[in-house]
Amino acid sequence: MLFEVTDRELEPERLFNHVRKDAAGAVVLFHGVVRETNLGRNVEYLEYEAYPEMATKVMEQLVGELHSKWEITDVAIQHRTGRLEIGETSLLVAVSSPHRHEAFAAGEWLVDRFKDKVPVWKKEVFEGGEEWIEGDRH
Amino acid sequence: MLFEVTDRELEPERLFNHVRKDAAGAVVLFHGVVRETNLGRNVEYLEYEAYPEMATKVMEQLVGELHSKWEITDVAIQHRTGRLEIGETSLLVAVSSPHRHEAFAAGEWLVDRFKDKVPVWKKEVFEGGEEWIEGDRH
Amino acid sequence: MGTVKVRLFARLAELAGTRSEEVEVGEGLRACDVYRLLETQHPAIAGLADTVMYAVNQEYAAPETPLKGGDELALIPPVSGGDSCCSR
Amino acid sequence: MGTVKVRLFARLAELAGTRSEEVEVGEGLRACDVYRLLETQHPAIAGLADTVMYAVNQEYAAPETPLKGGDELALIPPVSGGDSCCSR
């Protein structure tokens, strides 16, 4: 398992290489990307902030739960903090498995749980204002 | 939409860049990878063969159907032909969407339909023999 | 009435020892008739007709589809592209 | 009885104008009591206690969790990491 919170550009190729194993026939790589609009507003950029020490502990628990639910070969996650422009990747989740349906299901579950549990926040700076986004109302 | 059958190494970064648009918040990138074992046999390598002209037509139909089922921003697919070693990527499917659940669902659906419909075949060369794999018994 | 170009792939191509054949179009010639014709020329593919699908001009077509001069007929064994995962 | 390190994040940190506070541990001090204490020092965060979750030593904890010297208490506003998609 690999988990990193970083203020630098995320590294899909590195995460792919981390989870790719000879026993795995499928790798699902999810990219969460900054969109140009949200709640009907024109987004200028996002600011992400994390509580990294706790994020690491929560991720370890989630990945433990994931392995109890699906046959997963390996998992790698990166989240970016700081200022992100439209089109930049904020979250990368890579999941490998012998079986593609398990890789898809586990990847989707992990992104959902991440957004629900991991202590990371974003402030949206839009035309005419800014707002801390709280919870999944976006 | 981008669809290619090629005997060269597949290009995940290029496919990501192709489907990444400012309206899309999620990109799901599926890698189908050659596994070391299949049906309990030790695989040495795979040989993929395609009927490219027909594969292109079938893909266009599938992508049309996909757009009628989900809100998808763009799709890109590459399939590799020729000899593939263990760990190499045979199929790449990239799907972008404003909404991550639609990107996951559409990506999984497209891989399933691809394996069911698109005229591509693989021969498995294993320790002690070789066999054309027919259908999804693998 | 012209000829039909027949394309063979994967196991069928290997068994028949050819990837492409030309067949004269006779009155009422159907896709499945072409398979029977090829079976007599390439006995190694005999008995596999039930597993094969047909494509006429790059689209899946019923075995009874009538053929005309200039058509491309493909004999499609069960496909197996994509990943090397089982599907569960 | 020592002190508790309190960490604030995101909107709470911005409203309070601080990311970190030290609080003396009194008899029976609970996580939610710390919030009330901070409300009196930083009135801008008043009224938000219902939206906040607590973490003690980097694990989610109930508001009634008792604190001891050396603990790290974090006030966690509703999280919003990950992609910028709505979840449908």
- Stretch C10-19: mean pLDDT, rounded? 97
Among D51, D81, D85, the residue with its CB nearest the CB of A114 is D81
Q: Do D80 and A133 touch (CB under 8 A)?
A: yes
**pLDDT grade for D12, boundaries at 50, 70 and 90:** very high
Q: Do C76 and B51 touch (CB under 8 A)?
A: yes
Rounded percentage of chain B residues whose pLDDT exceeds 90: 93
Among D51, D74, D82, the residue with its CB nearest the CB of A114 is D82
Touch of D by C (3+ CB pairs closer than 8 Å): no
Is it the case that residue B137 has pLDDT exceeding 80? no
pLDDT in tens, A65-124: 999 999 999 999 999 999 999 999 999 999 999 999 999 999 999 999 999 999 999 999
- Which residues in chain B touch residue A32, judged by CB atoms under 8 angstroms apart? 25-26, 100
- Which residues in chain D touch residue B99, judged by CB atoms under 8 angstroms apart? 85-88
Q: What is the pLDDT of residue A15?
A: 98
Return the residue of A nearest to B98 by Cα. Answer: A35
Closest CA of chain C from B47, distance in Å: 10
Q: What is the pLDDT of residue B39?
A: 82
- Kind of pairing, strands A82-85 and D3-8? unpaired
Return the residue of A nearest to C84 by Cα. Answer: A25
CA–CA dist B34, A131 (Å, integer): 46
Q: Do B119 and C79 touch (CB under 8 A)?
A: yes
Mapped to the 3 state alphabet, what secondary structure does D23-56 carry? EECCCCCEHHHHHHHHHHHCHHHCCCHHHCEEEE
Return the residue of D nearest to B96 by Cα. Answer: D85
**Helix (H), strand (E) at residue A46:** strand A41-50
Lookup result for tokens 């299901």: A105
CA–CA dist A17, A15 (Å, integer): 5
Report H helices in chain B.
12-19, 52-69, 100-117
Among A25, A101, A102, the residue with its CB nearest the CB of C84 is A25
**pLDDT grade for B126, boundaries at 50, 70 and 90:** very high
- Which residues in chain D touch residue A57, judged by CB atoms under 8 angstroms apart? 58-59
pLDDT in tens, B36-87: 998 889 999 999 999 999 999 999 999 999 999 999 999 999 999 999 999 9
Return the residue of B nearest to D84 by Cα. Answer: B25
- Stretch C64-83: mean pLDDT, rounded? 96
List, in sequence order, every residue forming a beta bridge with A83; answer none if it has no partner: A47
What is the distance of C-alpha A69 from the center of its chain? 19
Q: Do A13 and B13 touch (CB under 8 A)?
A: yes
Q: Do C82 and B49 touch (CB under 8 A)?
A: no
Q: Which two tokens stand for residue C61?
A: 């077509």
Kindly list the distances between the CA atom of residue A96 and the CA atoms of A23, A26, B102, B137, in Å, as whole numbers in the listed order.
9, 6, 20, 21
Task: Please tell me the pTM assigned to this model.
Answer: 0.95
Q: Which residues are CB-contacts of A14 (< 8 A; sequence separation ≥ 6)?
A: none
Closest CA of chain B from D78, distance in Å: 20
D52-56 long-range contacts, CB within 8 A, separation 24+: D52/D12, D52/D76, D52/D77, D53/D78, D55/A51, D55/A54, D55/A119, D56/D31
CA–CA dist D85, C72 (Å, integer): 46
Q: Which two tokens stand for residue A136?
A: 């999944």
Among D55, D77, D86, the residue with its CB nearest the CB of A54 is D55
Closest CA of chain D from A9, distance in Å: 15
3-state secondary structure of A3: strand
Mean per-residue pLDDT of chain B = 96
- Stretch A42-46: mean pLDDT, rounded? 96
Question: In chain A, positions 4-33, which contact chain B (CB-CB < 8 Å)?
Answer: 12-13, 16, 20, 22-33
CA–CA dist D13, D36 (Å, integer): 15
Closest CA of chain B from D48, distance in Å: 30
Subunits next to C (3 or more Cβ pairs <8 Å) are A, B
Is it the case that residue A137 has pLDDT exceeding 60? no
Closest CA of chain D from A36, distance in Å: 9
pLDDT in tens, D65-81: 999 999 999 999 999 99
